Amino acid sequence: MVLRDSIYLFLALAVATETLSNPVDPCQTPNGQKGTCVPLQDCPNLHSHFEKGTIDPKIKTYVQRSHCGFVGHDPKVCCPSATPPAKSLLASSHLLPNRTICGMYTDNRIIGGEKTGLDEFPWMALLQYKIGTSAKIDLKAGFAKGYFADNGNLVFECGGSLINKRYVLTAAHCLLPELVKVRLGEYNTETNPDCVSNSLGTDCAPPVQDFGVEEQIVYRSYDSEDSDHYHDIGLIRLDRDVEYSDFITPICLPLETEDVYKSYVGKQLTVAGWGITERDVKSTIKLKVNVPVMELPECARKYKDLLNLNLALDSGQICAGGVKGKDSCRADSGGPLMHLKLEKRRESNFYVVGVVSFGPTPCGQKNLPGVYTKVSKYVTWIVENLKP
């Protein structure tokens, strides 16, 4: 928080009013170099100076002169194009699956409508919590509550995404002492094994697999009392390795340098989960829906105008949805916001670009999108926290 406050203080001296700029605006640095207007934390050669404790007065002045706008309340600076704002992590971790394994796109078993296919999104995880008669799990997010019970006092309350053989990506607000199990390979929570029938016959998946929780890792700057839900991201280390199959595989992480800059505004992304249906009951079958991405300033205005909430959304978040009866209702807190990257010369892959963080209550209101943590802003942290 001290770092964030000091950055604002320096930039407040440089500008009298808040200005907005597009995510990839070209600009010119104080030294006359060509650059791109990006959030300060996305420009390592400038941001690194704020992590050293004491800052050279010349650097302060240079950063002030580099100011080029805001994303929400996040200051943006003109970052020299010659210096890549982020290093590709593609080859930095042998613990992550390659593109021949992760995020594989399958559409051969889709039933239709908003139901998913039996083997669709095989990285989807369900998080199971143990609650007693006096215990209450408060997940803070405004997404669908009242999730179904599995047996006795075990309930599913959040979702997640398998990213390798040992780790599940989820929201920080889902990481609680009551979390006891992670389920993979689920489709219909009322049947095990799961089967679907069509004109070609019956297709069945293997039984679901339940894993224990060895470790919960919350992002270091996450604050559960923060009304803007910054840094709502975390990892779960499972108690044993996952064996991949057609029904359990990991999703890809956005590891390319260019992924940090992508805003996805105007694009249709996909959310999936066991969310609330049109009848306002929890779905027992995995659902999916496409959601449009909205500009952050517009998203904040919607929350202000319709709910009288003052959100200070930043570049570590994505707004998507706003379609009545859909979007957040279909997802589980901690579940993935997905982008299908189509490739001409090889298989297409799904990437987890967002983690379900929060949304309006009740969910699925017209013009009120859900808010997701932007995964590309945290991939370095994710990779650094993976262990064999």
Residues with catalytic function: 173, 232, 333
Nearest to 252 by CA among 351, 356, 368, 113: 351
Give the end-to-end CA distance of the chain in Å, rounded to a whole number.
Answer: 32
CB burial class (10 A; 0-12, 13-18, 19+) of residue 120?
buried
Supply the DSSP symbol for 260.
Answer: H
CA distances from 112 to 108, 115, 118, 264, 268 (A): 11, 6, 11, 26, 18
What is the number of other CB atoms lying within 10 angstroms of the CB of residue 161?
A: 27
Please state, in angstroms and rounded to a whole number, the distance separating the CA atoms of residues 40 and 76. Answer: 5
Task: From residue 345, give the alpha-carbon distance in Å to each of 164, 233, 250, 348, 350.
Answer: 25, 33, 21, 9, 16
Residue 280 to residues 55, 147, 277, 363: CA-CA distances in angstroms? Answer: 54, 11, 5, 10
Q: For residues 35 and 26, is the Cβ–Cβ distance under 8 A? A: yes
Annotate 197-247 with three-state secondary structure.
EECCEEEECCCCEEEEEEEEEECCCCCCCCCCCCCCCEEEEECCCCCCCCC
Residues 287, 272 contacting (CB under 8 angstroms): yes
Residue 337 token pair? 């916001």
Closest of 315, 355, 376 to residue 172, by C-alpha: 355
Residue 214, C-beta contacts closer than 8 angstroms, at least 6 positions apart: 237, 238, 239
Q: Would you give the DSSP letter of residue 332?
A: -
